[in-house]
């Protein structure tokens, strides 16, 4: 996959509620974690998770770069989302001892700048993935 490559798989995800979409995303993440286990590089988990999401019929864009504009100056590639799903969820993947406040702050910035309401931080270093999930919501994004 090339950077920001988009694979359109139909309108399957569009008909889902956010809760249903979140459930499907997490099922795909659990599948990847169960097959691979903890301890690999983040890029491996990202590639495999994007594959599982597409296999499930969802639109998943990997490594989506955004510019940041400050005081009229545009900074190319100001930040990078790991995976954007159906233009509705930002997935930030980690392989870390634990999810840290800076991971949360960065993901909230991705939501805000990307105008996306919901995000999931998934820490694949956890022995049990359920212990490495943090849900984020910015309610005032339409």
Q: What is the pLDDT of residue 75?
A: 85
Q: What is the pLDDT of residue 12?
A: 61
Q: Are strands 118-123 and 89-94 parallel, antiparallel or unpaired?
A: parallel
3-state secondary structure (DSSP) of residue 136: strand
List the one residue out of 114, 84, 107 whose CA is nearest residue 6: 84
DSSP H helix total and E strand total for the chain: 3, 6
User: Within the chain, where are the H helices?
Assistant: 18-36, 42-55, 101-114
pLDDT at 128 exceeding the cut of 70: yes
Q: How far apart are CA 113 and CA 111, in angstroms?
A: 6
- In whole numbers, what is the pLDDT of the chain averaged over residues? 89
CA 104 to chain centre: 12
Tokens of 15: 């008909």
Write out pLDDT tens, residues 79-103.
899 999 999 999 999 999 999 999 9
Q: Domain coordinates of the chain in residue numbers? A: 15-137
3-state secondary structure (DSSP) of residue 14: helix
- In the chain, % of residues over pLDDT 70: 89
What is the reported pTM?
0.87
Q: What is the pLDDT of residue 6?
A: 37
Task: Give yes or no for a contact between 40 and 94, defined as CB atoms under 8 angstroms apart.
Answer: no
pLDDT at 68 exceeding the cut of 70: yes
Tokens of 27: 């099922």
Tokens of 7: 């694979």
pLDDT at 43 exceeding the cut of 90: yes
The β-bridge partners of 17 are: none
Class of domain 15-137 as given by CATH: alpha beta
């Amino acid at each position: 996959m090339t950077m920001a490559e988009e694979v359109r798989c139909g309108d399957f995800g569009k008909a889902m509620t956010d809760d249903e979409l979140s459930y499907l995303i997490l099922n795909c993440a659990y599948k990847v974690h169960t097959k691979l286990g903890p301890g690999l590089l983040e890029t491996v988990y990202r590639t495999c998770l994007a594959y599982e999401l597409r296999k499930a019929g969802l639109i998943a864009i990997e490594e989506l770069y955004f510019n940041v504009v400050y005081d009229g100056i545009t900074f190319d590639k100001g930040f990078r989302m790991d995976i954007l799903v159906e233009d509705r969820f930002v997935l930030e993947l980690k392989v870390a001892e634990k999810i840290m406040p800076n991971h949360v702050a960065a993901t909230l910035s991705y939501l805000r700048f990307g105008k996306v309401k919901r995000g999931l931080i998934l820490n694949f270093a956890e022995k049990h993935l359920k212990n490495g999930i943090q849900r984020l919501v910015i309610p005032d994004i339409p």
